[in-house]
Each structure stands twice: as C-alpha cells, then as structure tokens.
Amino acid sequence: MTRHASIYGCYEIDSIPGQPQIAHCHSFFVPIDRRGLKLGHALKEHQVKTLAAELYDYATATVDASNEAQKRVLEKAGFRRLDTFTNSKTGGTTELWGRQITRG
Ligand SMILES: CC(C)(COP(=O)(O)OP(=O)(O)OC[C@H]1O[C@@H](n2cnc3c(N)ncnc32)[C@H](O)[C@@H]1OP(=O)(O)O)[C@@H](O)C(=O)NCCC(=O)NCCS
C-alpha cells in the first residue's frame, strides 16, 4: 500500500493481487477544513498523473452511492460507474468505478 499526499489532500493506491496493471484507489480525502472548495478535482488529477507515472493500465475505486461530491470528482476525472451493489458491511449501496490510464 502506498500513501500519496499533495497540498490538496491524500490518497492510497494498491495493485490488485495477481493483476499488477490494475490499481485500486482508496482512502482519498481532502482535509476536513478545506472541503467544499473543489480541491477534490485537483487531488484526483494528481492521482491520475501518479497512476500514469506508475505505468498502470487501469484504475478502480469504490464510493458510497450517497457521496455525491466524490462521484462528481470521479466523473470529472474520466472514471465511469461499472457496477452497484448492496454492501453488507455498511448497509448502504456501494458503487464500483473505473477508468483506463493512458500514458501522457
Ligand atoms: C469527497 C471529497 C474528496 C470531495 O472533495 P471536495 O473538494 O470537498 O469537493 P466539493 O465539495 O468541492 O465538490 C466537488 C463537486 O461535487 C459537487 N457536489 C458536492 N456536494 C454535492 C452534493 N451533495 N450533490 C451533488 N453534487 C455535489 C460540487 O458542486 C462539485 O461539483 P463541480 O466541480 O462540478 O461544481 C471530500 O469531500 C472528502 O474528502 N470527503 C471525505 C472523504 C471521502 O468521502 N472520500 C471519498 C471516499 S470514496
């Protein structure tokens, strides 16, 4: 697991076991006192550049269906919703998103 940080916030990236060209992105956050300022977009852009620099081919992320801000951040960064399921851990609905990573 690798933690990355920028002035906009932090996130972590892991390779999927047995498929090192797919990255699973998680633990993404903007510091609580800086939310609502659209910094999530800049942080996601930072993450996509990291994914490209690490030569991943594809990236996934999950998001709670009620998290409209994060879904907007994913959408604007070129991720698309792949599937939705009822989460027996949270009792809510979780969405799986993904996007291809291209080398700049
Ligand atoms: C989710 C998170 C990263 C978003 O970052 P942010 O910089 O605070 O995002 P903003 O509130 O500025 O909103 C980003 C976009 O979502 C939109 N948005 C925010 N709340 C919304 C809502 N309730 N309904 C619809 N859209 C919403 C904003 O209008 C903005 O859209 P735009 O850029 O098209 O105008 C941040 O709130 C965070 O760290 N949250 C806690 C951790 C978390 O949930 N991480 C994601 C785990 S999957």
pLDDT in tens, 33-46: 999 999 999 999 99
Tokens 């792949």 belong to which residue?
82
Mark out the alpha helices in 4-91 (DSSP H runs). 39-53, 68-76
Q: Which pLDDT score, from 0 to 100, does residue 1 have?
A: 72
Whole-number pLDDT of residue 43: 98
Question: What spacing in Å lies between the alpha carbon of 19 and ligand 1's midpoint?
Answer: 30
Q: Return the ligand 1 atom nearest residue 34 CA.
A: 8
Q: Ligand 1: which residues within 6 Å by Cβ?
A: 28-30, 35-41, 63, 67-70, 72-73
Count up the domains in the chain and report the number. 1
Question: What CATH number is attached to the domain comprising 15?
Answer: 3.40.630.30
* Segment 39-58 mean pLDDT: 98
**What is the structure's pLDDT at 65?**
98
Task: Give the domain range for residue 38.
Answer: 2-100
Q: At CA 61, angle to CA 60 and CA 66, rounded to 5? A: 145
pLDDT band at residue 18 under the 50/70/90 scheme:
very high
Give nearest CA residue, ligand 1 atom 19: 69
